[in-house]
């Protein structure tokens, strides 16, 4: 329709140009009927445009237009001289259009219809049934036949050529559409694979800007999945530039070498703990082989690191167990003899104040050494765990009563009753859990030398495994967990000390053995539980225990 408007406008413009010229001719004399005819076909095209939105069967609508176009060309030939007209070539446009719209069948139909209409026009003019331009010209049959055969050959040659090209275009278009579908499917397939990887994947350019990352990487790095090159990998991992440069040099020197594995630590915010990442680096090239960036594939190995620490802790505890057993056998009996002898001498001898003070120091240090050995034995060789369905709140209240009468408690410490008042039950060893609560409460009291509050909260919840559970517990199926949180408002724990507090012999208190929290950790593990600590320096600490209810 647009091409028809362009052709009509061009035809009308040329006609007007010749009309106002001196010759007053445009291949032939212009008549009002010619202009009426052009205007009429303008209206027909506008009518097509109006109907376009209401038409449902486009094939039939196009076929009607093709037929009408043939009639229009026939009328144009009539108005411009019939056999003497220069416009039989206009049939070629309709043939080409038909081949584009209906391919080979349409092209040969258009050529046949053009031949038929042009042949009828010449036949009517030969027998003088019509007189184009009012001129009763006399033609011989051979002249008419020669003109018809010439144009018929042109029509069918154009139909053959245009239909061949149209069929080839149709075939290429189908192939292109199929390739586009295949490409989209392949792109979707690859995108789904990349996005579903449980490993993080990102690509960077040569300046370190991230231009793509999958969902896992976005979640690990706490980034948007569409950074658009606004985030640099060097801002996330300050030391990674040396690793990338080293990997590039290594690949240049030995292109066939295996990929090397690297490790780094992503330091999180206060709400998000730091994570350990293991990653590999590979070059990213364009189709010509030129380096345009790097691809990083990385995994969260925090659980493996925790497992490694757990194994190291177990190995250390096994060694300490042997040492503790030896110390108990070699030291405890002589220590008891020394302590008893000093007590007898203190009772039988008349001592002055200085001598009595020295005796008291000896007895006190003997008692402290005996306590250290007792902690050794409890940590290295804890008694067998006898779990029973116990009421946790009662055990905590008994431990609080003991704390109130201990030397570590003073009047400026306030212990709030456990909340809520509801009774909670769990499968545990009451004596061992009392030891856990005692160690945690003693630590809380000793951390509040200027006074403060100790709060205890109990909560039961449904969860497959508590947050940040160690790897050995990750596959356990537990229906319910009992959460016990002990919070103090004391000095808190320094960030560098928080990861070491459960290690044996680590202590920040003067005179501490460094085994209290190690004993707590071991007892909780023996109960298939988890203990976590949250603390900020000078803002207190919260020790949270997760115990399986069943």
List, for residues 71-100, the tens digit of each pLDDT value: 988 988 887 788 888 788 889 989 998 998
Q: Clarify whether residues 507 and 413 are in a common domain.
A: yes
Structural domains of the chain, count: 4
In a domain, 40, yes or no: no
Residues 159 and 292 in one domain: no
In a domain, 439, yes or no: yes
432/303 Cα distance (integer angstroms): 28
Same domain as 317, residue 294: no
Query: What is the extent of the structural domain holding 118?
Result: 55-174
Strands of 128-286 (E only): list them. 200-205, 210-213, 261-266, 275-285
Are 104 and 208 in a shared domain? no
418 & 458 share domain: yes
Report the distance separating Cα 30 and Cα 16, nearest Å.
9
Question: pLDDT by residue (tens digit) across 202-260?
Answer: 888 888 888 888 888 888 877 765 655 577 888 877 778 778 887 777 777 776 666 67
Name which residue leads in pLDDT, 318 or 77: 77
Mean predicted confidence (pLDDT) in 428-457: 89
Note whether residue 123 is domain-resident: yes
Query: Of 300, 325, 357, which closes a domain?
Result: 300
Residues 157 and 284 in one domain: no
Q: Are 206 and 243 in contact (CB under 8 A)?
A: no
Confidence of residue 550 (pLDDT cuts 50, 70, 90): low
Residue 128 included in any domain = yes
**Alpha helices in 328-470, H assignment, sequence order:** 333-348, 353-380, 392-404, 430-446
CATH number reported for the structural domain that contains residue 294 in this entry: 3.30.450.20
In a domain, 27, yes or no: no
Instruction: Flag whether 45 is in a domain.
Output: no
- Residue 389 forms beta bridges with which residues? 427
458 φ, ψ (degrees, to nearest 5): -110, 140
| Secondary element (H or E) of residue 296 | strand 291-300
Query: Does the pLDDT at position 535 exceed 60?
Result: yes
Given 333, 352, 380, the domain boundary residue is 380
Assess whether 291 and 316 both reside in one domain: no
**Does 516 share its domain with 395?**
yes
Mark whether 409 and 265 lie in a shared domain: no
C-alpha–C-alpha distance, residues 151 and 547, integer Å? 98
For residue 199, give the nearest of 306, 88, 297, 67 by alpha carbon: 297
Q: State the pLDDT at residue 290.
A: 86
Output the CA–CA distances (angstroms, integers) from residue 396 to 378, 379, 458, 527, in the order listed. Answer: 20, 21, 10, 17
pLDDT tens digits, 501-532: 888 777 777 666 677 888 888 888 888 888 88
Which of 61-75, 208-222, 301-315 has the highest mean predicted lDDT (pLDDT)? 61-75
Q: What is the mean pLDDT of residues 343-365?
A: 76
Q: What is the mean pLDDT of the chain?
A: 81
User: For strand 425-428 and strand 388-391, is the pairing parallel, antiparallel, or unpaired?
Assistant: antiparallel
SS3 283: strand
Q: Is residue 46 part of a domain?
A: no
Tell me: do 208 and 321 sit in the same domain.
Answer: no
- Domain containing 515 — which CATH number? 3.30.565.10
- 414 and 335 share one domain: no
Q: What is the pTM of this model?
A: 0.43
| Predicted confidence (pLDDT) at residue 67 exceeds the cutoff of 80 | yes
Q: How far apart are CA 435 and CA 526, in angstroms?
A: 13
Query: Would you list the DSSP string of 452-486?
Result: EEEEEEEEEEE-SS-TT--GGGTT---SEEEEEEE
Question: How far does CA 12 lie from the centroid of its chain?
Answer: 62
Query: Is 501 a domain residue?
Result: yes
In angstroms, the Cα distances linking 538 to 168, 411, 413, 490, 491 are: 81, 20, 16, 7, 4
Per-residue model confidence as pLDDT tens digits over 465-478: 555 555 445 445 55
Using alpha carbons only, give the angle 12, 17, 22 rounded to the nearest 5 degrees: 140
Place of tokens 């309709």: 94
Q: Return the pLDDT at 472.
A: 45
The string of pLDDT tens digits covering residues 271-292 is: 556 778 888 888 888 888 888 8
Q: Is residue 326 scored above 80 in pLDDT?
A: no
Can you list the pairs that 275-278 forms with residues at least 24 positions away whose Cβ atoms lie under 8 Å? 275/220, 275/300, 275/302, 276/300, 276/301, 276/302, 276/304, 276/305, 277/200, 277/220, 277/301
* CATH for 358: 1.10.287
Tokens of 255: 């292109």
Among candidate residues 357, 380, 403, the one where a domain is terminated: 380
Which stretch of 54-58, 207-211, 214-218, 360-364 has the lowest confidence by average pLDDT?
A: 360-364
Cα–Cα distance, 500 to 404 (Å, whole number):
29
Q: How far is Cα 50 from Cα 98, in angstroms, rounded to an integer?
A: 22
List, in sequence order, every residue forming a beta bridge with 245; answer none if it has no partner: none
Cα dist from 549 to 136, 269, 285, 388, 391, whole Å: 114, 32, 55, 11, 11
CA distance 434 to 438: 6
Sort strands 452-462 and 210-213 into parallel, antiparallel or unpaired: unpaired
The mean pLDDT of 168-197, rounded to a whole number, is: 88
pLDDT at residue 381 is higher than 90: no
Question: Is residue 355 pLDDT above 80, yes or no?
Answer: no
In a shared domain, residues 127 and 248: no
């Amino acid at each position: 329709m647009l091409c028809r408007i362009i052709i009509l406008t061009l035809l009308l413009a040329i006609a007007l140009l010749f009309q106002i010229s001196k010759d007053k001719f445009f291949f032939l004399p212009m008549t009002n009927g010619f202009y009426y005819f052009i205007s009429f076909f303008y209206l027909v095209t506008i009518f097509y445009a109006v109907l376009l939105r209401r038409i449902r069967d486009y094939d039939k609508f196009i076929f009607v237009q093709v037929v009408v176009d043939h009639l229009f060309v026939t009328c144009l030939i009539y108005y411009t001289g019939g056999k003497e007209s220069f416009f039989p070539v206009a049939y070629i446009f309709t043939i080409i259009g038909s081949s584009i719209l209906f391919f080979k069948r349409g092209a040969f139909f258009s050529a046949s219809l053009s031949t038929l209409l042009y042949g009828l026009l010449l036949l009517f003019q030969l027998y003088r049934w019509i007189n184009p331009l009012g001129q009763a010209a006399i033609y011989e049959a051979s002249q008419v036949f020669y003109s018809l055969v010439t144009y018929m050959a042109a029509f069918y040659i154009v139909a053959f050529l245009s239909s061949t090209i149209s069929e080839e275009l149709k075939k290429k278009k189908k192939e292109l559409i199929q390739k586009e579908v295949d490409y989209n499917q392949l792109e979707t397939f690859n995108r789904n694979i990349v996005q579903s990887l449980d490993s993080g994947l990102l690509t960077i350019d040569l300046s370190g800007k991230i231009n793509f990352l999958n969902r896992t990487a976005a979640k690990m790095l706490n980034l948007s999945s569409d950074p658009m090159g606004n985030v640099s990998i060097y801002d996330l991992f300050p030391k990674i530039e040396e690793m990338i440069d080293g990997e590039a040099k290594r690949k240049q020197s030995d292109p066939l070498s295996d990929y090397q594995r690297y490790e780094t630590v992503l330091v999180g915010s206060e709400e998000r703990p730091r994570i350990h990442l293991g990653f590999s680096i590979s070059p990213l090239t364009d189709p010509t082989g030129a380096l345009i960036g790097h691809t990083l594939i990385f995994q969260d190995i925090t659980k493996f690191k925790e497992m490694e620490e757990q194994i190291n802790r177990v190995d250390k505890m096994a060694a300490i167990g042997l040492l503790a057993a030896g110390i108990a056998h070699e030291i405890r009996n002589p220590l008891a003899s020394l302590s008893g002898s000093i007590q007898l001498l203190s009772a039988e001898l008349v001592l002055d104040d200085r001598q009595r003070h020295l005796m008291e120091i000896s007895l006190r240090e003997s008692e402290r050494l005996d306590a250290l050995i007792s902690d050794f034995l409890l940590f290295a060789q804890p008694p067998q765990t006898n779990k029973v369905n116990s009421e946790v709140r009662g055990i905590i209240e008994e431990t609080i009563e003991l704390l109130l009468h201990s030397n570590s408690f003073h009047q400026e410490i306030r212990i709030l009753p456990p909340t809520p008042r509801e009774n909670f039950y769990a499968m545990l060893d009451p004596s061992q859990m009392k030891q856990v609560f005692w160690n945690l409460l003693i630590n809380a009291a000793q951390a509040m030398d200027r006074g403060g509050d100790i709060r205890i909260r109990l909560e039961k919840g449904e969860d497959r495994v508590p947050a940040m559970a160690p790897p050995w517990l990750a596959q356990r199926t537990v229906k319910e967990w009992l959460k016990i949180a002990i919070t103090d408002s004391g000095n808190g724990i320094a960030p560098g000390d928080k990861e070491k507090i459960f290690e044996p012999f680590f202590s920040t208190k003067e005179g501490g053995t460094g085994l209290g929290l190690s004993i707590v950790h071991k007892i909780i593990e023996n109960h298939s539980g988890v203990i976590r600590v949250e603390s900020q320096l000078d803002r207190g600490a919260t020790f949270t225990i997760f115990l399986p209810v069943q």
